[in-house]
Structure 1
Amino acid sequence: MLQGATLERAGIDAVAIKPAEVDVGRAADLDVDAFAVDYEGREHLPSPETLAALADEADVRVTTPVRADGFDPLGADDLATALPEEVGRVLVAGHPAYLTDTERERAVAPRLRAAAARSRDPWVGTEGIERIALAVGGTQFELLGPGTARRLRALRQAGFEGEVAVYAPTVLTDEEDAVLDALGAYAARRGPVAAALPDGAPTDASADGRAREVLSQAVRDYGLVGDADRVADRVAELRDAGADHVVGYPARGLDPVL
């Protein structure tokens, strides 16, 4: 494994940090200068002081689910207002797993519009709300999938001139068992993959037969997999298709990419 310049060599210009998994402060040791801090529930939100310290070293954005109490621009927004001024935002509808029943029922469109109006240079998550996100504007922030390059080209051909960022779980190794352990379960949650997998099949390195075949393709459809040079080629394809930023989530933690 190449150390030090791994992410830079792979062409990744920003890193997604999951605060429930890693110490956010360690992100400053990575060889990129932009970070997106994922939202994994109120209890895992880094303190304003921690975010401000990281923002002193790099460009920092925090994922803020506009339906969640604390980030709702049409209701309780104490968490949003507590964010340091220098920290940007990735506006998303919010993953249902991190929302209460009441929060899930809240309308997305008016909240995204209100939050975008209050944000400096917002990124807007497109997952499940592509048309709404496009109407709101801002940098379009979408998850990598098998049709991403095709959608980007169509968007550019249709005249979209705004920025696009692509989020991609990343495993910088060719070791298949390590790849499946890191990304198999993630890929298995995608609808087409779940439909193709045999019932009850494992989704990690223990998968074999048809399940392993499906997962081995899926992790490469929905993630960036391989050594730094191979990932760099994939990133270059995304940029050629119209991506302005590629945000890698180190699916095996920070140690393999430090």
Structure 2
Amino acid sequence: MAKFKQTLAMSELAKLHVERLAAIEAASEPVYAIPSEYPAGYHVKPHSHTRVQFVYARAGVMMVSSIQGRWMVPPQHALWIPAGLVHTVDMLGDVTMLSAYVAPSALADPPTVVRVVAVSDLARALIIAAVAPLDAQSGRRDLVMALLLDEVLRLPDRPLGLPFPSDTRLAALCRGFMETPSARLIIDDLAEQLAMSRRAFTRFFRKETGISLSTWRQQAAVFTALPRLAGGETVTAVALDLGYDSVAAFTTMFRRMMGAAPRAYFKAPEQY
């Protein structure tokens, strides 16, 4: 019975998602904002929209995937998704997302690539206000939407994207690393699995992903650590599981990638 109810709930969510997409396409205003809630493990199937999407993770962690790569969106972060880009969304925990769908004509330079950004206090307050019922007759809705659009365009990028190679053999190695991440990634071992020299492998990896293997490994480590840290796990446990020799080494890497040490990052996200 429990499984039947869960299946029914998933079916209702899928139907609601289709209805939301129709409403987004039918919207006439420059910025159309709506809230959404999804249970842990829910998968939003491949879809796209003619508007640019700014999606804020108010609670929970989302993972967005497309041909451009994969992006982690932890609490207090948001994601820009270009118009027309086919993507999927996976919920890593119960998720509350607030989305603003922006007509490309309302942007001087509409994004063409996916970007993760840190959300400021003002942006957070504005997106919350934007998805609440607003009296269009008072003009307040226009003021909120205009200020929201101005603020979100100023938000700083965060390196939470993880480019994946198109080569199937290399992609398999990358997926294997994501399943069992380690700070002790040995290039020679990976090169040997693809029957390449170390030099040929490093060139091939950069060509396929646009970044070095070292940078990719660090991004993958942050990618893996963020939902665990956001869920309350200790820095020590996460650092040791990822194969770091010490908490200090992990903290140094995290600070270099994210601009703050793990504890500070999650205690005061509005500062970053």
Query: TM-score, structure 1 length as denominator?
Result: 0.28
Larger-gyration structure (1/2): 2
Query: TM-score, structure 2 length as denominator?
Result: 0.27
Compare relative contact order (CA 8 Å, sep 6+) and give the higher one, 1 or 2: 1
Between Structure 1 and Structure 2, the one with more strand by share is 2
